[in-house]
Amino acid sequence: MARIIDVAKHAGVSVASVSRVLAGLPGVSEETRARVQAAAKALDYRPDLAARRLRSRRTDTIGLIVSDIRNPFFTEVSRAVEDMAYEHGQRVILCNADEDPEKEAFYLELMRNENVSGVILSPTLPLLSHFKAADYGFPIVLVDRCERGTEADAVVLDNLDAAYRLTEHLIERGYRKIACLYGAASATGQQRYEGYSQAMMRANLTLQGRALRPAVAEARGATLELLGGRQPPEALIASNGLLLLGIAEGVRELGLICPAQIAVAGFDDLPWVRLVDPGLTVVAQPTYDIGRAAIELLLQRIAQPSQAVRRVVLRGDLIVRGSTAARAATAPAGA
């Protein structure tokens, strides 16, 4: 493996000049520059990143800690982050906390040891509850999850608004008994439940919420239970793609026809939602924009560590499909 000194000798210059050329710094004659580049190429020289980082005290690396890599939402966000990061000369370390606060702590610790220039994080609920970006030795931007008073830069969906509109849509279509299954493990789930609640209360309807662990089986179980009881709801809302899948499974298991017997709606425009019988009505999230906004916030925070906390709130896109077609039968039109 060729080292910088080999390149210097080959080019007949000092290591300082080689370093300057490779870093693209000014103050090098054209001739020297050319000779160094030729030598580097001839020797297939590649700088030792460990040495460079040690000396320069910069890693040009950002950490991305997602709470669940199996969730397509985070997969998409991570693609955006990666694309943007490399455009800005930053490497990305992608970590999956698996909704486990311990793993999350482990990775945050790792980020510190790695001396990353910054971190993008979708925090678990316990961490978020007392989260302060200033507690860490590096810049942090939150994505997807963040509470009202959280002292950190963040990029989130307007969860309350999106859930409100989704619920309102159901109400407009004539549904009255609407239940909401939401993720108990994230701030996002709670905010979406809040949006549902406000829309229901505004229409003087009775709330029916179920806080669940973010797992398909949980939603499936809750669906079977709700729809099997007396006074079953006319519509079911899920606060994320996982729970939506569970609802769809439960509905199918009971052999109910959607939307005639049960309307269904949720979050995340996943590949399969248009496949399920009449197509599922969902709020689509602008995943790529979320990722891009996150890295932009982070880069600005790195450049200006002490600037005021900023928050980017994006709007969800309501996509109406057959699963929430207007309720034909019994609905009394009375507001």
Partner DNA sequence: CTGTTAGCGCTTTCAC
Partner DNA sequence: GTGAAAGCGCTAACAG
Residues contributing to the site for a second copy (CB under 8 A) = 46-51, 53-54, 59, 69-70, 72, 75-76, 78-79, 82, 91, 93-94, 96, 98, 110, 112-115, 216, 245, 248-249, 252, 271-272, 274-277
Residues that bind DNA (CB under 7 A): 1, 3-5, 12-20, 22-23, 26-29, 31-32, 45, 47-48, 51-52, 54-57
> Which one of a second copy, DNA, none is in contact with 112 (Cβ closer than 5 to 8 A by kind)?
a second copy
Distances (CA, A) of 213 to 47, 87, 117: 47, 37, 33
> Which one of a second copy, DNA, none is in contact with 44 (Cβ closer than 5 to 8 A by kind)?
none
Residue of 318, 168, 158 whose CA lies nearest to 235: 168
Distances (CA, A) of 297 to 73, 105, 232, 308: 19, 23, 45, 11
**For a second copy, the closer CB: 107 or 175:** 107
Give the gyration radius of the chain's Cα atoms. 26
What gap in Å lies between CA 167 and CA 178, rounded to an integer? 8
Residue of 208, 201, 168 whose CA lies nearest to 324: 168
Residue of 151, 225, 160, 235 whose CA lies nearest to 198: 160
Min separation Cβ 263 and a second copy, Å: 17
Min separation Cβ 276 and DNA, Å: 54
**For DNA, the closer CB: 36 or 162:** 36
**For a second copy, the closer CB: 9 or 252:** 252
> Which one of DNA, a second copy, none is in contact with 160 (Cβ closer than 5 to 8 A by kind)?
none
Min separation Cβ 81 and a second copy, Å: 11
The pairing of beta strand 317-319 with beta strand 281-284: antiparallel
> Which one of DNA, a second copy, none is in contact with 223 (Cβ closer than 5 to 8 A by kind)?
none
Min separation Cβ 2 and DNA, Å: 8
> Which one of a second copy, DNA, none is in contact with 27 (Cβ closer than 5 to 8 A by kind)?
DNA
What type of residue is 193?
Y
Residue of 233, 230, 122 whose CA lies nearest to 181: 233
What gap in Å lies between CA 282 and CA 241, rounded to an integer? 9
Min separation Cβ 206 and a second copy, Å: 29
Residue holding tokens 């309720």? 327
> Which one of DNA, a second copy, none is in contact with 300 (Cβ closer than 5 to 8 A by kind)?
none
Min separation Cβ 84 and DNA, Å: 23
**For DNA, the closer CB: 42 or 54:** 54
**For DNA, the closer CB: 45 or 182:** 45
What gap in Å lies between CA 103 and CA 93, rounded to an integer? 15
Min separation Cβ 286 and a second copy, Å: 17
**For DNA, the closer CB: 137 or 228:** 137
List the helix and strand counts (H, then E) for the chain.
12, 12
Min separation Cβ 281 and DNA, Å: 54
Q: Terminus-to-terminus CA distance in the chain, angstroms?
A: 77
> Which one of DNA, a second copy, none is in contact with 114 (Cβ closer than 5 to 8 A by kind)?
a second copy
**For a second copy, the closer CB: 100 or 172:** 100
Min separation Cβ 17 and DNA, Å: 4
Dihedral over Cα of 12, 13, 18, 19: its sign: positive
Q: Vertex 71, ends 67 and 75: CA angle to 5°? A: 85
> Which one of a second copy, DNA, none is in contact with 59 (Cβ closer than 5 to 8 A by kind)?
a second copy
What DSSP state is assigned to residue 149?
T
Give one word for 279, left, alpha or beta, with left for phi > 0 and alpha for psi -120 to 50.
left
